[in-house]
């Protein structure tokens, strides 16, 4: 043995001790989080923007709102260290939901179910004031407050949508499984059971009355 190594066939082979020492080296990670400002930096950071023209199905009154179709409603950054659809992976992201209204309805995210109902999600707000709408497949919908420091656990069976009811951007972080998937189609067809409207300067929850289809037989 020479200096912790074994000489075999004229070469020095490192012992397990030397291998362990190599494994204890501290790596410099390239992905960083600015928690308060809501920014991600590093490789595999993805970004998307939702403009008003992308949410025409969410806001039926958008054409008469006086806002341009290119108005940004919210933006998302997320770190994707795992492949989308990979079982056992996690994504980490942040949403900036701007303050504003379309008519008397507050700016909100599109909202969705997870394609896999066994995949839950966490939200936590760091600035602003908002409401998390949650909905079961039955259509039962309820609201939960989002303020800095609140931590919300979202059951994988529940649709979720965030509404900004404040006067500044609502910034919130999220963590969700990389194989959760998205079901936007159900929301596009059925919507949520509640809408959040501004009335006399306050946010009001308004139940959605769905029209029943009546088939006429001559």
Instruction: Evaluate if pTM is beyond 0.75.
Output: yes
Per residue in 68-77, pLDDT (tens digit) is: 999 999 999 9
206, two tokens: 């308004």
User: Tokens at residue 87, please?
Assistant: 């079982």
> 129 by DSSP, 3-state: which?
coil
32-207: CATH number: 2.60.120.10
Q: Where are the domains of the chain?
A: 32-207
What is the pairing mode between strands 45-51 and 39-41?
A: unpaired
Q: Which two tokens stand for residue 110?
A: 């599109």
Report pLDDT digits (tens) over 78-121: 999 999 999 999 999 999 999 999 999 999 999 999 999 999 99
Return the bridge partners of 73, or none: none
* Contact of 144 with 103, CB cutoff 8 Å: no
């Amino acid at each position: 043995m020479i200096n912790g190594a074994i000489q075999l066939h004229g070469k020095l082979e490192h012992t397990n001790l030397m291998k362990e020492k190599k494994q204890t080296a501290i790596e410099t990670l390239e992905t960083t989080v600015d928690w308060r400002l809501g920014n991600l930096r590093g490789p595999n950071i993805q970004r998307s923007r939702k403009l008003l023209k992308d949410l025409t199905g969410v806001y039926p009154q958008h054409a008469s709102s006086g806002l341009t179709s290119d108005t940004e409603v919210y933006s998302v950054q997320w770190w994707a260290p795992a492949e989308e659809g990979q079982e056992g992976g996690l994504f980490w992201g942040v949403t900036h939901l701007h303050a504003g209204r379309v008519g008397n309805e507050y700016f909100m995210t599109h909202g969705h179910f997870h394609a896999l109902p066994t995949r839950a999600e966490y939200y936590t707000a760091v600035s602003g004031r908002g409401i998390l709408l949650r909905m079961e497949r039955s259509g039962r919908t309820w609201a939960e407050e989002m303020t800095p420091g609140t931590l919300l656990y979202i059951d994988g069976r529940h649709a979720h949508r965030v509404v900004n009811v404040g006067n500044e951007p609502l910034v919130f972080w999220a963590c969700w499984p990389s194989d959760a998937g998205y079901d936007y189609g159900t929301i596009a067809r059925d919507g949520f059971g509640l809408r959040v409207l501004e009335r006399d300067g306050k946010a009001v929850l308004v139940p959605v009355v769905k029209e029943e289809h009546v088939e006429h037989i001559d």
